């Protein structure tokens, strides 16, 4: 009887773990930086990744909190950042292929202004570092 009870408990734990994993994989990629969140003094930063292959991004806020995102192909990752806050990101090709990895960071300020940074690599293990102020 103890073995059967242990199997039931193990099965419940597996179901919970799978449910949590599925929930986490479907979560929105929006990252809140500088403790802010969409208030009057916030601006939007879009990290636009265009790739022929796999990539990995590490996005850090001014408090050195980071969020990692792995992907393949094209993706846009929105970041909410308080006006005057900073961001930095490292994006690296993860498949070692010869394709192109383009990263553009587009910042839309609270005053309606817009700016962008662009970086590109074709190196098999190319790494790009981008940073700026919101």
46 within a domain of the structure (yes/no): yes
| pLDDT in the model for residue 108 | 75
> Which helix (DSSP H) or strand (DSSP E) does residue 10 occupy?
helix 2-25
Q: What is the mean pLDDT of residues 65-69?
A: 83
How many residues would you count in the chain? 134
Total domains, the chain: 1
Going by C-alpha positions, the residue among 121, 118, 122 that lies closest to residue 132 is: 118
DSSP symbols for 47-111: EEEEESSEEEEEEEETT--EEEEEEES-EEEEEEEETT-EEEEEEEESS--SS-EEEEEEEE-TT
Q: Are 91 and 62 spatial neighbours (Cβ–Cβ below 8 Å)?
A: no
93 vs 11, higher pLDDT: 93
43 within a domain of the structure (yes/no): yes
35 within a domain of the structure (yes/no): yes
19 within a domain of the structure (yes/no): no
13 within a domain of the structure (yes/no): no
17 within a domain of the structure (yes/no): no
Q: Which domain holds residue 52?
A: 30-133
5 within a domain of the structure (yes/no): no
Strands of the sheet containing 31-33, edge to edge, are: 31-33, 75-82, 42-51, 101-108, 114-121
* pLDDT single digits (tens) 101-134: 999 998 876 666 677 888 999 888 889 999 888 7
Which CA distances in Å does 124 have to 36, 93, 100? 36, 7, 9
Reported as a pLDDT band with limits 50, 70 and 90, residue 32 is very low
| pLDDT in the model for residue 41 | 57
1 within a domain of the structure (yes/no): no
């Amino acid at each position: 009887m103890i073995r059967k009870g242990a199997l039931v408990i193990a099965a419940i734990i597996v179901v919970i773990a799978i449910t949590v994993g599925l929930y986490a994989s479907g979560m929105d990629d929006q990252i809140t930086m500088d403790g802010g969140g969409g208030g009057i003094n916030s601006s939007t930063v879009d990290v636009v990744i265009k790739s022929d292959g796999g990539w990995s991004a590490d996005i850090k806020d001014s408090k050195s909190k980071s969020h990692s995102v792995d992907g393949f192909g094209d993706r846009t990752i929105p970041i909410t950042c308080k006006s005057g806050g900073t961001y930095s990101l490292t994006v690296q090709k993860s498949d070692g292929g010869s394709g192109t990895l383009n990263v553009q960071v587009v910042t839309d300020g609270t005053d309606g202004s817009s700016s962008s940074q662009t970086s590109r690599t074709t190196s098999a293990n190319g790494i790009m570092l981008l940073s700026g102020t919101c």
